[in-house]
Amino acid sequence: MSDHLENIPELAVSRLLRYHHILMGMSQGDVVSSSDLSEKTGYTAAQIRRDLTYFGQFGTPGRGYTVDSLRNAIADVLGINRESNVLIMGVGRVGAALLHYESFEKHRFHVVAAVDVDPEKVGLEMGRFKVRSVEDLSDIVTEGDIRMAILCVPPAQAQTAVEQLVRAGIRAILNLTAMPVDVPDDVSVRPVNLAVELEWLAMAQSRRGGSRGEKAVPETGFNEKKKGGD
Amino acid sequence: MSDHLENIPELAVSRLLRYHHILMGMSQGDVVSSSDLSEKTGYTAAQIRRDLTYFGQFGTPGRGYTVDSLRNAIADVLGINRESNVLIMGVGRVGAALLHYESFEKHRFHVVAAVDVDPEKVGLEMGRFKVRSVEDLSDIVTEGDIRMAILCVPPAQAQTAVEQLVRAGIRAILNLTAMPVDVPDDVSVRPVNLAVELEWLAMAQSRRGGSRGEKAVPETGFNEKKKGGD
DNA sequence: TAGATTGTTAATCGATTAACAATC
DNA sequence: TAGATTGTTAATCGATTAACAATC
């Protein structure tokens, strides 16, 4: 089994990441069926089973899958079954907020350093971190065995900051700056732009009620439930 | 022209949103060709032209598309050509950071209110906002003509907060809590989970170098550029 | 006009589905 | 055993591509 990631359709990969995330929220020992997962994801049970066969077989006919082992198998094939150290670049309001973010640990991401250009900020204690200077970036990255960074600098400084990160050895960047950046081919960037996320909601909105007025007293209807995930 | 959103393939819709975003970053008067957009997005020029024909024809053969009018046409069909008022639910570190976020305005999202349960926070001045109480939620939503909220409460309070929002009339929620929430059918939720975004980077990482050691002195190579978006 | 780029078609390619034999 | 659910196949469905006539 365990074909490799290259052979799995792009779209299946994104679903696999979703299954992985859901399985992380379940008790290790439980058993889950493709139709359970279907309910939680909205994908068909057939598709879920199909997705899994791209890289192996993990279930017991008549029973289902063990949460623990399925989660592990998916993590293995996706290559996310490892610990990663992470650096926060820019400790403005957003960066500072992320220094206190709890849920990274559960996913095996360890924030291990915070860096800023501003001499006023360098040396400050923030949460369990002491803010360090961009000038020490290479050392910090090497010593901390860091390959990933979260970019939280002001948009105008995004490109400069990225170049510093890359020069220091960072190979993956989560870009929260709302400013596109250029990187060499061997570096990954993942842009997260909250304004664009709001656009998705605006789209969904206009698809529904559209431009017409809302009901004065909205009914609550928490029965016909729908998952709106994390 | 202007077929409606329902008739456009799901995947094309997400590309359209991407084109829209790119066009927003260009000068209104400029002309852009499908191959220009191809370079910026990585999609083929043929696909881009195909995507546009799903809902009309906007170009001039031999010339290309006017940035302004193409952006507008896309925004119209996606239904994102309107102003929206937005409420921030929970002014912890993340919520407070978003109160100072600049780039929403450019996308026609107006943050107009900040709300918290904590009596210690209610009444505080934060940026240009005075934090208001959850108890006044319905009034705030009605008076402010608000349909969208950004959820920044602690994970444990996510579901409760969502129910309050829905009861107050909110119809679209950007969920930054890393906790899945249930909503009625007529409410949209868009989850944004930074840990999951980091997983994407981890996947990309393992697909490349994998587990082997990095070069001691990484070369910089900012020539073979690659767009790593905003 | 010559050069460029659109809009559209038909062919190809890939992903999803439904069904069911195999298995626990 | 009876009931349940997997893994897998073949058929269907949809999306992408390449090519080119139409147009500026």
Q: What is the pLDDT of residues A44-70, one digit of tens each?
A: 999 999 999 999 999 999 999 999 999
Query: Could you tell me which residues come within 8 angstroms of residue B26 by beta carbon, excluding any fewer than 6 positions away?
Result: B32, B67
Q: How many contacts does A have with B, using Cβ atoms within 8 A?
A: 303
- Angle in degrees, 0-180, between the axes of helices B10-24 and B34-41, rounded to the nearest 10: 100
A47 CA: nearest nucleotide by C1': C16
Contact between B162 and A201 using a beta-carbon 8 Å cutoff = no
Exposure string for A67-88, b = 16+ CB within 10 A, e = fewer = beebbbbbbebbbbbeebbbbb
CATH placement of domain A84-194: 3.40.50.720
Spell out the per-residue pLDDT of chain B, length 230, in tens: 445 777 889 899 999 999 999 999 999 999 999 999 999 999 999 999 999 999 999 999 999 999 999 999 999 999 999 999 999 999 999 999 999 998 999 999 999 999 999 999 999 999 999 999 999 999 999 999 999 999 999 999 999 999 999 999 999 999 999 999 999 999 999 999 999 999 999 999 988 765 433 333 444 556 444 555 56
Q: Give the DSSP H or E segment for B207.
A: helix B194-207
What is the model's pLDDT at position A216? 37
CB contact under 8 A, B203 and A173: no
A164 interaction partners in chain B (CB closer than 8 Å)? none
A202 touches chain B (CB under 8 A): yes
- If one looks up domain B5-78 in CATH, what number appears? 1.10.10.10
In whole angstroms, what is the distance from residue B90 CA to residue B150 CA?
9
Residue in B171, B178, B199 nearest the CB of A80: B199
Of A21, A82, A201, the CB nearest to B148: A201
Q: What pLDDT score does B6 carry?
A: 75
Residue of B nearest to A223 (CA): B184
pLDDT tens-place string over residues A158-191: 999 999 999 999 999 999 999 999 999 999 999 9
CA B44 – CA B165 distance, rounded (Å): 42
pLDDT at A211: 44
Q: Where are the domains of chain A?
A: 5-78, 84-194
List B residues 39-98 in contact with A (Cβ-Cβ < 8 A): 78-80, 82, 84, 86, 92-94, 96-98
> Could you tell me which residues are beta bridge partners of residue A17?
none
Q: Which residues of A134-158 are buried (b: 16+ CB within 10 A; e: fewer)?
A: beebeebbeeeebbbbbbbbeeebb
Task: For an interface test with A, give the residue of B176, B201, B214, B223 to mutate (most A CBs within 10 A).
Answer: B201
Question: Does residue A1 register a pLDDT over 60?
Answer: no
Residues facing A65 on adjacent strands: A32
Indicate the Cα dihedral angle A210, A212, A216, A217, nearest 10°. -30
Record the tokens describing residue B115, joined without a space. Answer: 């709300």
Q: Which of B101, B222, B224 to mutate to test the interface with A (most CBs of A within 10 A)?
A: B222
Contacts of B39 (CB under 8 A, 6+ apart): none
pLDDT at A2 over 70: no
A190: which strand partners? A174
Determine if strand C comes within 7 Å of the CB of B53: yes
**A128 at the B interface (CB within 8 A)?**
no
Q: Does A125 touch chain B (CB under 8 A)?
A: no
Using alpha carbons only, what angle is made at residue B228 by residues B45 and B50, rounded to the nearest 5 degrees? 20
- The set of residues with CB closer than 7 Å to nucleic strand D is A 33-35, 45-46, 49-50, 52-53, 57-65; B 9-12, 43-44, 46-47, 49-50, 60-63
d(C-alpha A215, C-alpha A157), whole Å = 45
Topology agreement, domain B5-78 and domain B84-194 = no
Res A3: pLDDT? 56
Tell me which residue in B184, B203, B228 faces A79 most closely, judged by beta carbons. Answer: B203
Q: What pLDDT score does B228 carry?
A: 57
Residue-wise pLDDT tens digits, A26-44: 999 999 999 999 999 999 9
Strand C: which positions are within 7 A of a protein CB?
3-9, 14-19, 22-24
Q: Tell me the pairing of strands A84-89 and A146-151.
A: parallel
CA distance A40 to chain B (A): 11
Indicate if CB(B69) is under 7 A from strand C: no
Closest CA to A32 of A23, A24, A41: A23
Specify the nucleotide whose C1' lies closest to residue A58 (CA): D6
Task: Pick from B200, B219, B223 the residue to mutate for testing the A interface (most A CBs within 10 Å).
Answer: B200
- pLDDT exceeds cutoff 70 at A229: no
Q: How far is CA B41 from CA A74, B9, B16, in A?
A: 29, 18, 11
Instruction: State residue A135's pLDDT score.
Output: 97
Taking contacts as CB-CB distances below 8 angstroms, the residues of chain A near B163 are: 220, 222
CB contact under 8 A, B179 and A82: no
Extract the tokens encoding A124. 């400050």
